[in-house]
Structures are given as C-alpha cells and as structure tokens.
Amino acid sequence: MKKLIPQFLYSSKAAQKFALCFAMIIGGAAEIKAQTKATWIWYPGDYEIWLSNKMQNRRTERGSFFPPFWKLDSHYVLIDFHKDYNLSSAEEAEIAVEGQYNLKIDGKAATGYPKTITLPAGKHRISLKVYNQGSVPAVFVKSPHVVSDTSWLVTFEDKEWIDASGKTSDVSATQYVPAGAWNFNAATSTPSQFRLPTVPQKAVSQDKKTKSILVDFGKETFGYVKLHGVKGKGKVTLYYGESKEEALDTKGGELLDIVDADQQHSGDITLDGSRAFRYVNVQYDGDVSVNDVSMLYEYSPVEQRGSFRCSDEQINKIWDVAAYTMQLNTREFFIDGIKRDRWVWSGDAAQSYLMNYYLYFDSPTVKRTISALRGKDPVTSHINTIMDYTFYWFISIYDYYQHSGDKAFIKQSYPGMQSMMNYCLSRRNTDGLMQGLSGDWVFIDWADGLSKQGEVSFEQMLLCRSLESMALCANIMNDTKGAEKYSALAKDLKAKLFNYYWNAQKHALVHSCVDGKPTDNVTRYANMFGIFFNYFTEAQKQDVKKYVLMNDQVQKITTPYMRFYELEALCAMGEQYYVLKQMKDYWGGMLNLGATSFWEEYNPDKKGAEHYAMYGRPFGKSLCHAWGASPIYLLGKYYLGVKPTAPGYQTYVIEPQLGGLKWMEGAIPTPKGDIKVHCTTNKINLSSATGTGVLRIKSKSKPVCKGETLKSLGNNTYELSIQKDKAYAVQYTAI
Amino acid sequence: MKKLIPQFLYSSKAAQKFALCFAMIIGGAAEIKAQTKATWIWYPGDYEIWLSNKMQNRRTERGSFFPPFWKLDSHYVLIDFHKDYNLSSAEEAEIAVEGQYNLKIDGKAATGYPKTITLPAGKHRISLKVYNQGSVPAVFVKSPHVVSDTSWLVTFEDKEWIDASGKTSDVSATQYVPAGAWNFNAATSTPSQFRLPTVPQKAVSQDKKTKSILVDFGKETFGYVKLHGVKGKGKVTLYYGESKEEALDTKGGELLDIVDADQQHSGDITLDGSRAFRYVNVQYDGDVSVNDVSMLYEYSPVEQRGSFRCSDEQINKIWDVAAYTMQLNTREFFIDGIKRDRWVWSGDAAQSYLMNYYLYFDSPTVKRTISALRGKDPVTSHINTIMDYTFYWFISIYDYYQHSGDKAFIKQSYPGMQSMMNYCLSRRNTDGLMQGLSGDWVFIDWADGLSKQGEVSFEQMLLCRSLESMALCANIMNDTKGAEKYSALAKDLKAKLFNYYWNAQKHALVHSCVDGKPTDNVTRYANMFGIFFNYFTEAQKQDVKKYVLMNDQVQKITTPYMRFYELEALCAMGEQYYVLKQMKDYWGGMLNLGATSFWEEYNPDKKGAEHYAMYGRPFGKSLCHAWGASPIYLLGKYYLGVKPTAPGYQTYVIEPQLGGLKWMEGAIPTPKGDIKVHCTTNKINLSSATGTGVLRIKSKSKPVCKGETLKSLGNNTYELSIQKDKAYAVQYTAI
C-alpha cells in the first residue's frame, strides 16, 4: 500500500439521504463544466479545531474515556461568507450548507433554505450566513463560473446593522479573511461527515480456545476489530496488545473493549472505536461463540512520494519501518502515537512535519495540525501546557514556510502567533528569562532525574529561535515594527544565553540557572540545538561535539524524540559515519527485539517485557510513536543531502554524504515535484522537477559532468548548478 | 395566568427514552431522602451562552433566517467536575451526563460510561470529565448525601499530567470555579432538551373564505400556530400580523411561514417556529383545505409577585398591559421584542432587569441574560456592537447586586467585567474620552437627526458610571488595587464631563464635543441621567429640569426606551404629578390606539398604519417591546416608593408618593419576600417580609402609628423604622 488513492467515506445515513436528495435537486447541472473547482469552505482554522476535538476525544484507557487535560476550543458558530462576482449571463448555482442559513444576493435574502439560486448577470455579491453549533458552518456553491473556494471572504462578526430609517451601517470595520478549505469537492462530501478510509485486513495467525481467540496481525496495526460469526448472549471482552504479553495480561494491558452480545443468529460485529494493536485477545462468556477475528485498517490517504534505498539492508529495513510508523501516526492530524494518547502534541508534531517533508510533503496535514494546536484566543496556557511545545510551534511555522513557500498560511496564522508570543513574553521573569511558572510543564525529554528547576538554558534557546521565527514571519507580513521588535528581543536573549550559561571550563552550555546562578550540570539538549541553530562559533561547536555529544559521561538520551535532534546535530557537523552506526545500533536494536514500528522510548539496557513498561504501568509505553521515525528525515536531509535554501524549494542544495554506505538512492518530494538522487562512491545521478539547485560534493578528483562546468570551492569541494527537468550524471571520487 | 407553576417540557424522543432507561437503572434509590437537592451542573455561564445562541438564531424575516451580526461564542467543550465528600458509610449514586465522559473516584476511572457508582465511605473525591461539542457538558449526580450542585468545582483545563515514571503533576495552578446550575432537578430534565412550556389558545374571531382564514387572537400573543383539519396537497402560507393591516399585507408583513401540505386524510399541523402575532392570515392553494387555526402559547413560568392597583383605572390598565408586555418578552432571556429580533440587547435588557425587580424578582433570568451578553473572551467588539450597551452591562451588574445581594454572581462575572473594561479603556482617545471608532455603534436612542459624531457626553457619563460600578465590584472582590484604579478613573472622567460639556448659558450639558470643541446642541440624554446618577449639584438639577426636561424646545423623545429614563429623572426630582400625566398621555395614547402590548416607539403625531412603520418598512416596528413596560418600574419605585438601600433589601426605604392618585396599593418582591404598601391621602398600611426598612413620608400633621415612634426630620418629613413580619398602620395627612 505505497500509493494510496485519496478516497473519503461518509458513513452516516443522514449524509447518504442528503446526497440522494441533492442529486435529485440539481439534476443535470453537473454537465456544465466549471471553470474552477467548487469546494466546501469554512472560517479558516475552524474545521481543524473541530476535527481535532473529535480526534483527541477518542482516547480510552482500559475502557474509560481519557480526554486531554488542556483547554479545547471551538469553531465560530455563526459565519458570514461572501463572494463578489461578475457574470456575462445569469447562471443557476447549486447550494449546499452545513447549518441553518440564509442566502442573499446583494444583501436581499431568498426565502427559506434554497438549494439552488439564479445568479443574475453583472457585478453582484452572493453571501450566505450560517449558524451551526455542533459542527463547523460550511458552504458549497457551484455554478459554471461561481464556485465556493478560498477566494471567498468570511467573517464571524459582520457589524451590519441598520438605523431606524433603514439606513445600513458603515461595515468597513468588518474583518474579512479568506475562507478555509481542504478537499471536500462535492456537495455530498460534507465536512462534518468526514472519516478516514478503511480496508479489511486478516490476522496472520489465530489461537482459538473454548472461550477465547488470540489473533496476531503480524505487525503493529490500527483500526476497527471485526468479530465474525458471533452468536449467543454474553459479554465479549477484547484485550488489545502491541505485544503478545500485553494482549494476554488482562489486568495490565492499556486497551480493552467490552461488547454485550445478544445474537440469536450468527452475525458479525464491528467495533465502534478504533484501536492500535498487533494482537487481540478475545474472551467471551455466557453461551457466546465467536468464529473469527479480522479488522478494518484505517489510514490517511496521503501519497508516499519520498523513498530511500541503499547498500545496507538493515538501514533499508529501518527506513521502511520508520515510514510505516509515520503512516500509522499520520491521521486526521500528526499524532504522537496510535495506542495511547492519539493527541496532537506540538513537540511530537514538529518532528512529524520535518519527516513529512521527506516522506509525503502533505501540506494539508501540516497546516491542519498547526492550526489545531493553536486553537483560539485567549491563550490560557502553553500549547499542550508545555513551555517547549509552544516554542516548537513557532519554529515549525517558519519551517513550513521554508519548505512550502506558502505565504497565505503565514498570513492566516500570524495573529495567533502574535497573541501566543504576547503570552510567552508576559511570563518572563525580571531578567527576561522564562522559567516554569505554576501550571507550566517544562518537558524537554523523558529522562531520569532531569532537572526542570529555575531557568533552563534549553527553554531560552527555543524562545530565542521562536523570536527569530516571529521576526521572519513579521517581515513576510510587512510588519516592520514587529520584525524590529522580535529581532531585538531575540538578539538580547541570545546574548544572555551565552553570558549566563556558557561555561568555558565545561566547554558547553550548562543546563540551568537556579536562584540566579548557573548550575554546573551539563546536559545534551541546549548544546545539540545550538549546533543546528548555528548559535555557536566553530570553536564552540567542536568543543560541544567533543565534551558533550561524544562524551559518554553526559547523561544519555533514551528517547527517539531527542535522538532525532542529537543525530541531526552530529550530521550537521559531518558525522554521517558515526550517525549511521548509531542508527543501526539504536533503531536496529529495536528491530532486533521484533519491533514492527518504532517506539516511544528504547533503552538497550532493559530486558524482555521491561521494554514495554512506562509511566509506572507494565504496558504504558507506546510501541508506535511518530517520533521514532526520524531516520526518514536524517537519511533524506543529511545522506541524500537535499534541503531548501529559499522558500518552497525555489532554490535548494544537494550535498550527498554516503556515511559509509556503498550506494544510496531516493526521491525527495517538494511542492512542485520530486528531486531524485542516486549516489555511489564515484557517480552521482540526479534530476529535479523544481527550482534551481546546487549540487555540492567533496571529491578527491575534479568531478566531471557532460556539458556542465563544476565550480571548485577549494578544499576538495565542488559545486554544480542544477536546472529543473534535466538529468545530470556526475563522475567523482568520494573522500 | 398570573401565577405560573414552573413546569418543563422535554419534547425529544431521545430524552423520553433516556428517562425511561434511567428509571429502570436506578430503581428504588429514589426512596432515600436526599439531604440537599441534586441538580444538573455545568461550567458557569456556558449554558447561558449556548441557550442564547439557540434563541438568537430563531429570528426570521419574511421566511428567511436572520441571525445576529455580532460574534456568538460557545461553551467550553471539555469540562472537569469534582466534589470532595466525606461519608460515614458507602452509598450508591445515580449518574446522568450530557456528553462523552469518564467517572473517577480519587483519580481512578471506572470502566465505560457508568450510570451508577458506589461512593466509598470516608473522605474521597468524585470527579467526572465530560466532552460535548454540540451542547453543554453537564452532569447530574445523586446519592443520599452527595449531590451535584453549585458546591461542586469545575475547570476547563485541569493541567493534570504524569511524568514517565507515573508521577502526577502539581495541579495547584488549575483554576477551579463553582459550577453553574439552574433548576434542572431531575436526571431526566436534561439541560439540552429544555423548552419553555406552552398552553393552547383559541382565536377570538375567524374570517373564513374559500382559500383563506384570517384569525384574531384578541391581543398580542406568541407561540406556535396550529392548523386544524388540514387536508389535500398544496402550499399553505401563514402571514402573521401584530396588526390586522400587517396580516393582510402579504407583500409587506414582517413574518410568514410556508407549509408544504400533502395530507390524504385530514389532520392537524403545528408549526415548528414560534412567532409573535395577534392576527394570522392563512392562505392555501391547490386542493388544500383548512378547518380552523389555534395556537400554543409559549411562556416563561416565572412567578408574578409584584402588583399595583390605584384609584385611576387607566393607570391600572397601563400597569396590566405593561406587565403583559414584560411577560411576553421574558423568555429564556429578557429579549427586546417578540416579533422581530428576539435577541438579547444589553440596553433593552438593562431596563427589563429593573422592571423585573418590581414584577417577578426572577434572578435566574437576570443572571442568564447578563452572562449571555458577555459571552467569552476575547472581546472583539462592544456588546451587541453598541458602545452604550457595553456600559449598561457594567451598570446592570452592580444594580443586580444591590437588589439581590448575590455576591457569588459578582465573583463569577468579575473576570469578564475586567476584560470588557480593558477593551473599553483601550479605545479611549488621547484625552481619555470615548468616541465611536470604526465598527462601534453609538446608539443612544432612535431619534431623527441625532448626532453620533465626536465625543458624545452621554457616552462619557455612562462610562463614568461603569467605572464606578467596577470600583464597587472590585471592593466586593477585595481587589483593593482594582477599586483604587477604577475610582480614580471615574473621578477623573467625571471632572472632564463637567469641564468639557457643562454650558452655563444653556444651563445644561451639551450633547458632544467635535474636533475637540463642545457643540452648543443640548439633548435630553446626558442631562436626565445626570439627575438620577446624582452627578449634578442641586442648582444644576433645577437648571436641567427647567431648561431641558420641561423645555419643549429640546428635541422630544419618542421611544418608551428613553422615556423610561426621562420620567425616572423627573420622579427623582419629585415630579410624580407631572409624570403621572405623562404616563397617561403617552402609554394611554397607545392604549387609545388599541394597543394590547406596548410598542417600540410611539409618536402621537403619526396616524393610522403610519404607527406600524419603522426601519423603512411598513410593519418594521415591534408592537410588543420590553422597553415599553417601564410604568411597572416607575410605579413601584417612585409611587409605592420602595427601593433597597443595602444589597438584597437588608435595608430599604419606602417613600410613597400618590402623585395625584386618591389611593394606591401594591406588592414589591424582594429576595426574601414581599413588601406590601397600601396608601391613601391619610393612611398608610404596610408590611415587609424582609430586612429593616424606613418609611419616609411628608405629612401636614404629625403622623401616628400605634405603639411606634415616628422621627421628625423637619420640613414636614417623618420617618418610621420598619421591622420585618409586622403590620404597620400610619395615620397622616398627605401634602
């Protein structure tokens, strides 16, 4: 299932009925070819908030509902949509709306709830005002030349009143913004009925006893269990397991479902709730019998455009399992892990975005996740209550712009960025630094004994980068004053970072200041970020590499989450050989233990079922966690070596690094097509469907490319300019 | 229908099914007598916002949906409820919840969605966490000693996370507030299914033709039209009319409904939408026939505790029609008028609260309306977009406290008052005054040619009073710093009010400053408020009375809305004789034109159907507008003369003023019972069920009251102290 064809299912009977009814009403109108594509539209960001509420409230723990502990926001319930059009002749438009609505032409309302309207010729305004409390106010309009799309404008307060004589108010103060949309491109594809598609999957083995069946699906999977041939009356209990141990531990597993069966005749039962598992232990009492157990695999139909293959089969396997781990965690949003939370966690998502740029380049999922995380004003706590997660959110927006070149999304997000940053700035201490105030979670990483006291250097570094991201976005918004303010704040904080935390004896940033004094504790976090944020001097980088990153005396990282950044720092310093070995040890270590997806945490020192425990619970650990998939990112960005140097890959660089591999090849998705690289120790083949690139390589000999001139930068380094839609074959000698 | 017995109807089948199911589950538990009353609870203010959204989206205009033009907010969709209890022995509790939920004892969740739970003996915490997007998360818990009520605490973000070892976060930062409730006191009385009760009403006359029936219900009424004996296929159109002219004007009336009938057998059809009307003109085509038309009158079951009777029959009629006008406009909230908007308008509601204190003293309706008007943060515009309406909102909260003594509501409202005031203060100009910025509606009143330019004195006066109200509430909240700040701002603004606007030549405040200079235009608004706000010196009051209030050269007021305040100002200056005549002319004038409820506007100069026009539409005017009911307030407060002098009528004053009447009598409701007054020119009988009062009267002779001593204040004024639950009969000689 490498390339999934987008497909949406609408399960509710109401939706089907509506579809039928709609078809009868609009009749032959569909034959006229539309100039542009009609799509369902809404207030930007609102569908994302609504859908994330729905998704984040699906978590259960041993059969109990387990919702998030932060504030969930809501969509605006009353929205005005409009479009000014100019038609040479009158047209008939189809209208579909989610909510109670009126439909106006030039401010004059049609009676009732029309399903079609005649759009008069000439310049006119069509507007719809929609109220919907339970789901998002949304409209779909389609005539040959007038269609609902993101060129429509929307507002949540139109300030359109009249005085006693009937004179209309000045509505110039009304704030209109472009409508939001996704890909609901048919009147019957109502946004509120959206569900991810499913496909049936069979178990690979079955162990059937008198009153139980234990099935194994062969690998980590996700979806709805289907019980076949259920007959009789009694209780059927499903114990799910990411491991066999978990499925068999009826007292200690994380997930279970109970079905009260009462079937005179044998029939199938599909569970309502989606669950993560490899094994399902189905136990039944009374006179219930169950024939078989299968499942409906639920997935997001994003297209896997990125690829990677190399001479090392273990690395290939790691990449494949990482891609599968990403697939499972790429759902309505990028979630943390499929078994437990299934929530949108900002720090986790920030990594998923980066992996996504090298696997799917699915911008809608990135944008949905960023919008959902922000929610609405007022800000009452950090994102997910975690200080560092707020900062990742800022940084990820500029990152998204750098990869996609999508200014419209910056424009949509900027007001929310400003109020979020105001919240952060208001929580600085008198010294301008941030420490965890009451109610703030300073997370950093899961690591034993990690101090969160005082002002942690890592948090200041992330805040500094967030302020830099704000300044960049302010410039995109032409907010000169804002750009100046954020730049000045970033500069000031960066100076403090080195004044307060750099310890020359330790050759590193120390972990924190407590009671105004720097501690002498050195941890990896701020030090590894300082490298790829490029905050260090060259000398400092070498110091940090030696005294921190390559120093076993400094507390080791046991989560793939922080290994992501640790290995990125090492790659940024050219340590691809070392990192390849680390990948094989760490991710290979999980594979050796039978992992079919990558874990939330992996400590090679643990044994057997110890690996499954976390949070004080025997199976608390998630065995399929998005942050486990970082090899996709590392191999794409630092081995194939492709990254954008101007927004949306207008320009980019390719710096292949074999890191000990004999050969490697792969595709990197970009907004306008793929960049393809094949690299051996003496030959590089590449082509690009986008922008203008630079191939930068080290070679013992002067590289040769037919019909092209390579520029020598000295120090055995050469550059070749890459034009789009052209194939290049370069002869060189790897160092 | 003077005293209505509270009664709630739950129409949906789902609710009935739930009720049945619930009864089966809990069985005999109901026999155990509960110590306190269980009631449905929610996050305070949230049900009010949700219900007001529902209500404010019922407006239609000629069959088109007509929603508000301001931002509508939503409830929090995820709420944590908890209660710490101490039980001597274990108890069984019934659980009912609106939403998806978990139920925990001491943080440990029960499996699934339990409908009962055993509460263990000893000190424990019961908590429920509920997600509900479409309606308000709400819970109902009932055991013999543990019941859901406003002693429970709630939060929308519990900040309760655990670390990797399973250690729980410090949740001391979680902001808990007391739960909100109303009177949903049974598990089956689910808040989301709430509907006002109805009773059938018959038309008083019918004019039946071949294809139409015109019915007259004899007076203004409100509810759901019922068509009897409908048979055949075709379109039935209902044209509603507050006047006969409106019902007959099928092109110009404000309200209509269309029913597509298709009935083989004769049957009844009740309309879904509630409408205001006296007449209904039912027209039908095709082969449809209709036998008869009746209605279901919908009303709020509040108890009418206040009363008034006097020697003048016209005044009695005015009071009765005013009371009926109030009844019609007292619904889920205090609304403006029943025909058109049916919205919650702050300025209109502020008057309804005051009338309510003399008619129902129904605090829940006041609190619901105040909470609904405020909505949630962030503040993006004035309340209803109107600057003056924001100010009335502040003032009405302290007013409510003064009448009710309800500190809990101040506590609930104070944060929202603060952010609303911050919004106002941020919109002052460099001189500290407020003028209408882009998007602000400066309303004041419906009056031809009334200038809204520049800084209007009336707005500054209302802001000043708002700041004083903030200071008073800050003191109640023990927010000393806030109290000082608001007092200082009020003092400063009051000084400006007189420095900038008082014109000694005009003996009055002028209407506005434009371009930094006072105009010489004098209007009634600021001048009449200055009297009962007690901002003027005694000399200024006399000047204003002579040169403004009693001066026909100053533009007349034609809305009962501002006549409310105009007559209040005159009453406050002892002009009860004059005001009685004004009431008879103005409200009597409407009665003479056949009014059965009081109007949005009345201009005696207009003729016939001219009276029905407004907003540039022939029947745009509302003939049943809450602000028309002010005689209730004036007669209670300034004739019977009863008003609180300490919060909640702990102390109060009674100053009867016959104003030319031979006798009058009535009851004034207070939180703890009624104050009853009967007054003739030589005898006053009174009793009170509450507090400690003072009867203050003017008498030519020294008054006598058996067993009591009256204190002489000089100037023919005497005082008698009134104790509760005691009857007083005073002999005196009216001046």
Q: Note the ipTM here.
A: 0.93
Mean pLDDT of A216-245: 98
CA end-to-end span of chain B, whole Å?
A: 38
3 state DSSP class of B154 = strand
pLDDT at A167 over 90: no
Residues in chain B: 735
Q: DSSP character for B288?
A: -
Give the tens place of pLDDT for each residue, A443-479: 999 999 999 999 999 999 999 999 999 999 999 999 9
User: Which tokens sit at B536?
Assistant: 């003027």
Mean pLDDT of B628-646: 98
Residues 6+ apart with CB under 8 A from A489: A425, A467
Mean pLDDT of B385-398: 98
3 state DSSP class of A170 = coil
Q: Quick check: B604 and B595 in contact, CB under 8 A?
A: no
Q: Quick check: A254 and A61 in contact, CB under 8 A?
A: yes
Q: What angle do CA B59, B60, B63 make, to 5 degrees?
A: 165
Q: For chain A, what percent of residues have pLDDT higher than 70? A: 95
The residue written with tokens 């439909």 in the block is: A103
CA atoms within 13 Å, Cβ hemisphere of B113: 9
Give the tens place of pLDDT for each residue, B59-109: 999 999 999 999 999 999 999 999 999 999 999 999 999 999 999 999 999
**What residues of A are in contact with residue B156 (Cβ under 8 Å)?**
71-72
Q: What is the pLDDT of residue A35?
A: 52
The partner residue sitting opposite B159, judged by closest CB among A76, A100, A381, is A381
Q: What angle do CA B248, B253, B258 make, to 5 degrees?
A: 85
Report domain extents, chain B: 9-195, 198-298, 641-731
Angstrom distances, CA of residue A84 to CA of A87, A106, A161, B163: 10, 9, 20, 54
Q: Judge: A164–B131 Cβ closer than 8 Å, yes or no.
A: no
pLDDT at A10 over 70: no
Check if B712 contacts A (Cβ < 8 Å): no
**What residues of A are in contact with residue B135 (Cβ under 8 Å)?**
133-134
Q: Quick check: B579 and B661 in contact, CB under 8 A?
A: no
Amino acid present at A292: D
**Integer Rg of chain B from CA:** 28
Check if B200 contacts A (Cβ < 8 Å): no
CA–CA separation, A613 vs B101, rounded Å?
27
pLDDT at B31 over 50: no
Mean pLDDT of B483-495: 98
Closest Cα in chain A to B259: A112
CA–CA separation, A200 vs A193, rounded Å?
21
Pick the CATH number of A641-731 from 3.40.50.80, 3.40.1160.10, 3.50.50.60, 2.60.420.10: 2.60.420.10
Kindly give the residue spans of alpha helices, DSSP state H, lying in B615-701: 631-634
pLDDT at B310 over 90: yes
Q: Quick check: A495 and A461 in contact, CB under 8 A?
A: no
**What residues of B are in contact with residue A162 (Cβ under 8 Å)?**
615-616
Q: Judge: B385–A109 Cβ closer than 8 Å, yes or no.
A: no
**Residues forming beta bridges with residue A78, ordered by sequence position:** A131
Give the tens place of pLDDT for each residue, A290-332: 999 999 999 999 999 999 999 999 999 999 999 999 999 999 9
Q: Judge: B170–A620 Cβ closer than 8 Å, yes or no.
A: no
Closest CA to B52 of A139, A377, A379, A131: A131
Q: What is the pLDDT of residue A173?
A: 81
Mean pLDDT of B244-248: 98
Q: Judge: A617–B166 Cβ closer than 8 Å, yes or no.
A: yes
Q: For chain A, what percent of residues have pLDDT higher than 90? A: 92
Residues 129-158 of B with CB under 8 A from A: 129, 131, 133-135, 156-158
Check if B105 contacts A (Cβ < 8 Å): no
pLDDT at B674 over 90: yes
Q: Judge: A131–B439 Cβ closer than 8 Å, yes or no.
A: no
pLDDT at A18 over 70: no
> What CATH number was assigned to the domain covering residues A387-442+448-537?
1.50.10.10
Mean pLDDT of B639-659: 98
Check if A76 contacts B (Cβ < 8 Å): yes
pLDDT at A27 over 50: no
Q: Judge: B378–A381 Cβ closer than 8 Å, yes or no.
A: no
Size of interface A-B (CB pairs under 8 A): 187
Q: Quick check: B325 and B602 in contact, CB under 8 A?
A: no
CA distance B54 to chain A (A): 9
Residues in chain A: 735
Check if B53 contacts A (Cβ < 8 Å): yes
pLDDT band at B358 (very low <50, low <70, confident <90, very high): very high
Pick the CATH number of A9-195 from 1.10.3470.10, 2.60.120.260, 3.30.9.60, 2.40.50.100: 2.60.120.260
pLDDT at A566 over 90: yes
Q: Quick check: B315 and B661 in contact, CB under 8 A?
A: yes
Backbone angles phi, psi at B241, to 5 degrees: -145, 130
The partner residue sitting opposite A438, judged by closest CB among B164, B173, B617, is B173
CA–CA separation, A179 vs A47, rounded Å?
11
Check if B66 contacts A (Cβ < 8 Å): yes
Mean pLDDT of chain B: 94
The partner residue sitting opposite A441, judged by closest CB among B65, B102, B161, is B161
**What residues of A are in contact with residue B162 (Cβ under 8 Å)?**
615-616
Which DSSP helix (H) or strand (E) runs through B275? strand B275-284
pLDDT at A344 over 90: yes
Instruction: Kindly report whether the global pTM for this prediction surpasses the value 0.90.
Output: yes
A198-298 matches A9-195 in CATH topology: yes
Residues 6+ apart with CB under 8 A from A151: A83, A178, A179
Q: Quick check: B210 and B203 in contact, CB under 8 A?
A: no
Q: What is the pLDDT of residue B72?
A: 98
CA distance B49 to chain A (A): 11
Closest CA to B527 of B586, B560, B570: B570
Give the tens place of pLDDT for each residue, B536-557: 999 999 999 999 999 999 999 9
Q: Quick check: A38 and A147 in contact, CB under 8 A?
A: yes
Q: A367 burial class (0-12, 13-18, 19+ CB within 10 angstroms)?
A: buried
CA atoms within 13 Å, Cβ hemisphere of A412: 24
Q: What is the pLDDT of residue B35?
A: 52
Which DSSP helix (H) or strand (E) runs through B632? helix B631-634
Interface test with A, best of B62, B77, B557 (most A CBs within 10 A): B77
The residue written with tokens 């009624």 in the block is: B674
The partner residue sitting opposite B133, judged by closest CB among A53, A258, A620, is A53
Closest CA to B334 of B378, B400, B415: B400
Closest CA to B183 of B403, B53, B364, B331: B364
Give the tens place of pLDDT for each residue, B712-722: 999 999 999 99
Q: Judge: B173–A57 Cβ closer than 8 Å, yes or no.
A: no
Q: Judge: A53–B131 Cβ closer than 8 Å, yes or no.
A: yes
Mean pLDDT of B199-203: 98
Give the tens place of pLDDT for each residue, A398-439: 999 999 999 999 999 999 999 999 999 999 999 999 999 989
pLDDT band at B165 (very low <50, low <70, confident <90, very high): confident
The partner residue sitting opposite A157, judged by closest CB among B69, B133, B162, is B69
Q: Quick check: A181 and A149 in contact, CB under 8 A?
A: yes
**What residues of B are in contact with residue A50 (Cβ under 8 Å)?**
133
Give CA A528 to chain center in angstroms: 23
Interface test with A, best of B69, B127, B453 (most A CBs within 10 A): B69
CA–CA separation, A312 vs A658, rounded Å?
11
The third-level CATH classification (topology) of the domain covering B198-298 is: Jelly Rolls (2.60.120)
**Residues forming beta bridges with residue B694, ordered by sequence position:** B653, B721
Mean pLDDT of A44-56: 98
pLDDT band at A159 (very low <50, low <70, confident <90, very high): confident
Angstrom distances, CA of residue A643 to CA of A146, A361, A404, B26: 39, 13, 12, 64
Which DSSP helix (H) or strand (E) runs through A541? helix A538-544
